[in-house]
């Protein structure tokens, strides 16, 4: 489990660089990175962040590393993870997923 004294959540939607970020925001981001490193070094690497949720991975191009990293991230966050292949989905027939 992740410690209760984790830094606050990142207030922005994306991180494309630090230009425009205040020094406290940069420090908070580095603190979050330190917490993630400490968590990854623990023996038990599962958190409850996504417990009770399902993560469905659907990749349109084969990418073993990307699929594996998404699956591992979902599992470490506590999600039930399902990997789907475009070849076996309705997308191949031209249907939309939504």
23-56 confidence digits (pLDDT tens): 998 998 899 899 889 988 988 888 899 999 999 9
Q: What is the pLDDT of residues 51-91, one digit of tens each?
A: 999 999 988 887 889 999 999 999 999 999 998 877 767 77
Length of the chain (residues): 98
Contact present, 73 and 46 (Cβ < 8 Å): no
For residue 1, pLDDT over 50 is answered with no
pTM of the model: 0.61
Tokens (6 digits) for 88: 């076996």
Contact present, 32 and 7 (Cβ < 8 Å): yes
> Hey, which bits of the chain come out as E strands?
54-59, 80-85
| Residue whose entry in the numeric block shows the structure tokens 């599992």 | 75
């Amino acid at each position: 489990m992740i410690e209760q004294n984790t830094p606050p959540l990142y207030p922005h939607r994306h991180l494309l660089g630090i230009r425009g970020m205040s020094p406290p925001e940069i420090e908070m981001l580095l603190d979050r990175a330190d917490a993630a490193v400490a968590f990854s070094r623990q023996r038990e690497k599962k958190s409850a962040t996504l417990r009770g949720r399902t993560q469905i991975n659907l990749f349109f191009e084969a990418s073993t590393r990307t699929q594996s990293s998404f699956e591992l991230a979902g599992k470490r966050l506590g999600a039930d993870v399902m990997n789907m292949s475009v070849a076996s989905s309705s997308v191949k027939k031209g249907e939309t997923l939504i």
